[in-house]
Every structure is written in C-alpha cells, then in structure tokens.
Amino acid sequence: MSNTITSEELTKIQEMNTRFAKAKLTLGDLELTKHEMFREIDSLKLEFDENERQLIAKYGADAVINIKTGEVTHKK
C-alpha cells in the first residue's frame, strides 16, 4: 500500500528544502568572505609593519606622529 502526501505538503517540503540549501550556501559564502578578510588584515599588518620600520628609520624610534596632522614630535 502506497500513500502520497498532498501537493500542498509536497510544495511546503520542497520550499523548506530550497530555503535550507540557500541558507547553507549563504553561510558558506560568508565563511569564504571571512577568510578573505583575515588574509586582508594579515596583509595590512605586514604593510603597517614595513611602513613603521621606514618611519622609524627616518624619524627615529622615539618619534610620535600625530595621525591627524602628520606632526612629528619625540618622546621626552
């Protein structure tokens, strides 16, 4: 004996399955974006480090740079 669900029940199950698959895909995309952002942050850290070394070489290790004005002062 075989029973069949109603077309409404089938439609609801199919829609729920589609929404679930879409949510998983979206979550995967977000995870990829997160990893890309981590790589970007790592790259920025390296760039900051290199820039800091250049500024230290030019202005000295005791230099304090005002990030708004660019004024360089030295620690006392």
| For residue 1, pLDDT beyond 80 | no
- Tens digits of residue pLDDT in 3-51: 999 999 999 999 999 999 999 999 999 999 999 999 999 999 999 999 9
Please report the pLDDT score of residue 54 as a whole number.
97
Please report the pLDDT score of residue 63 as a whole number.
95
Q: What is the pTM of this model?
A: 0.67
Domain assignment present for 42: yes
Domain assignment present for 1: no
Give the domain extent around 39.
7-74
| For residue 67, pLDDT beyond 90 | yes
Q: Which helix (H) or strand (E) holds 65?
A: strand 63-65
Domain assignment present for 56: yes
CB burial of 5-38 (b: ≥16 within 10 Å; e: otherwise) equals: eeeeeeeeeeeeeeeeeeeeeeeeeeeeeeeeee
Q: How many domains does the chain have?
A: 1
C-beta separation of 75 from 62 below 8 A: yes
Please report the pLDDT score of residue 55 as a whole number.
97
